[in-house]
Amino acid sequence: MTLSTKHLLGIETLSAEEISSILDTAQSMKKEGAPPGKESSPLAGKTIINLFYESSTRTRTSFELAGKRLGADVLNFDFSTSSMSKGETLKDTVINLQAMNPDILVIRHSAPGAAAFVAEAVDASVINAGDGAHEHPTQALLDLLTMRECRGSIQGLLVAILGDIAHSRVARSNIWGLTKLGATVRVAGPPTMIPPYIENMGVEMFYSVEEAIADVDVIMCLRIQRERQQKYLLPSLEEYAKFFGLNHERLAHAKKDVMIMHPGPINRGVEISSAVADGKNSFILEQVTNGVAVRMACFYLLAGGRQGHVAH
C-alpha cells in the first residue's frame, strides 16, 4: 500500500495499517538496502531539504543518510542559530526554499504545529522532524520498529514512558503509535512533568517509577532538559535522578528481559544511569540504526513508492 497522506506530520493522523506499512518497508530496507529501482537509487533526481530550526546531530544526519542511500540530493539548512535566518519569517523561508522545487522538506522547529503550517505553504511533501512538544513521528516509528524487531509484535506489549511527558514530542508520538498498534502505555514522572488529562490519550498515569515499570516489556526514558529547573518543574537534576532516574536498583522492579530505550541524547546519571544505558537490556544504539531505515521508508513512500515492491 501507499500512504494516504502527502505529508508525514504526526502519528495521530495515521492509521494502524499505514504505520505497519511504513514499518514493513523499513524492515525490508534494513535487510535488503535500498529497494531496486533505477540503478538501486529510487529517489535519484529527487531533492530533499533538511530544515532544522533546533540543533540536532542525530536526527539530521539520520535523515541525510537515509536520503543519500536512496540516491536523492540532500540539502541541509541549519537555522538553529538566529543569524542564519536573518530575521526572515518561517513562511518566507519555506516559500523561498519551495522556489528551488524540492520534493520533500524535512523540518524541525520549536513551535507545535510548525510542520503543518509549512505543509500549508509549500508544494513539497513535508516530514515533521519534531515540532515543539507536539509530535516527532519518525522517532516513534523507529522506536516501534525496534520493539517489533525484538518482540515480534507491538500488539499486547506493555510499555512505560518515563520523564518529562509534558514537554515531550517523543512521548506523544509514541503514545499514538503504540496505542494504535494495540500496546498498553504507562507514563510516569514527577507531577510537574505529567500534563493534565494525559489519561484521555489512552494511557495509564503513574508518579512512581517503580510502580510504572513493574511487569512492562519496554521502558522508554526521556531526556530531561536542563533548563526545566528554571521553570520550577524540578528542584534539581540530582533530585530527579534520586527519585525518578532509571538505575540498577530501580530496574530490579522490572522484568529481567525488559527492553531499555532512550531517544537520545542521554544525560548519564540523570534520567538513566550509565550502567543501565550501556547494559545488556539497552537498545539505544539499535534505535539509532533503525532510524535510518525508518527515514528511508518514509522518503520512499512519500515519494510515491509502494510497500510490497520492496520486499523480495
Partner 1 sequence: MLLIKRGRIIDPANRVDGVFDVLIKNGIIARIALTIEPEEQGLRVIDAEGKIVAPGFIDMHTHLRDPGQESKETIASGCKAAAAGGFTALACMPNTGPVNDSPLITGSIISKALREGCVRVYPIGAITRGLQGEALTDIGALKEAGVVAVSDDGEPVMNAEVMRRALEYVTYFDLPVISHCEDKNLSQNGDMHEGFISTRLGLRGIPAAAEEVMVARDLLLAKMTGSRIHIAHVSTAGSVDLIRTAKAKGVLVTAEATPHHFSLTDEAVASFDTSTKVNPPLRSQKHLDALWEGLADGTIDVIATDHAPHGAKDKDVDYPSAAYGIAGLETAVSLTLSKLVHTSILTIEEAIAKLSLNPARILGINGGSLNEGGDADVTILDLEKEVTIDPENFRSKSRNTPFAGMRLTGGPVMTIVKGDVVWESESP
Note the residues at the interface with partner 1 (CB under 8 A).
12, 89-91, 109-114, 116-117, 131-135, 166-167, 169, 172, 195-198, 200-201
Would you say 67 or 163 has its CB closer to partner 1? 163
Task: Write down the least CB distance from residue 205 to partner 1, Å.
Answer: 11
- The strand order across the sheet containing 125-131 reads 73-78, 47-52, 104-109, 125-131
Q: Are 262 and 58 in contact (CB under 8 A)?
A: no
The side-by-side arrangement of strands in the sheet containing 204-206 is 204-206, 184-188, 158-162, 218-221, 259-261
CA distance 54 to 269: 24
Catalytic residue of the set 25, 47, 59, 138: 59
Rounded to an integer, what distance in angstroms lies between the CA atom of residue 118 and that of residue 61?
A: 21
- Per the annotation, the verdict on 57 as an active-site residue is no
DSSP per-residue string spanning 217-255:
SEEEEPPPPGGGGGGTS-S-HHHHHHHH-B-HHHHTTS-
3-class DSSP state of 20: helix
Cβ-based nearer residue to partner 1, 69 or 169: 169
| Residue 58 annotated among the catalytic residues of the structure | yes
Q: What are phi and psi of 205, to 5 degrees?
A: -110, 135
CB 273 within 8 Å of CB 248 = yes
Smallest separation (angstroms) from partner 1 to the CB of 1: 26
Residue of 69, 108, 186, 223 marked active site = 108
Q: Which of 7, 134, 136, 295 is catalytic?
A: 136
> How far apart are CB 88 and partner 1 at their closest, in Å?
12
Shortest separation between residue 112's beta carbon and partner 1, angstroms: 4
Q: What are the φ/ψ torsions at residue 206 (nearest 5 degrees)?
A: -135, 155
Q: Which one is catalytic: 30, 58, 268, 309?
A: 58
Q: Could you say which DSSP state residue 268 is in? A: B
Instruction: Name the residue nearer to partner 1 (CB basis): 186 or 250.
Output: 186
Q: Of 159 and 165, which CB lies nearer to partner 1 in the complex structure?
A: 165
Distance from chain centroid for Cα 92: 27
Q: Is 59 a catalytic residue?
A: yes
**What is the closest distance, in whole angstroms, from the C-beta atom of residue 131 to partner 1 in the complex?**
8
Between 96 and 153, CB nearer to partner 1: 96
Q: DSSP letter for 167, please.
A: G
Buried b (16+ CB within 10 A) or exposed e, 223-261: bbeeebeeeebbeebeebbeebbbbeebbebbbeebbbb
Nearer to partner 1 (CB atom), residue 60 or residue 169? 169
Helix or strand run (H / E) with residue 301: helix 284-302
CB 36 → partner 1: shortest distance, Å?
39
Residue numbers annotated as active site: 58-59, 86, 108, 136
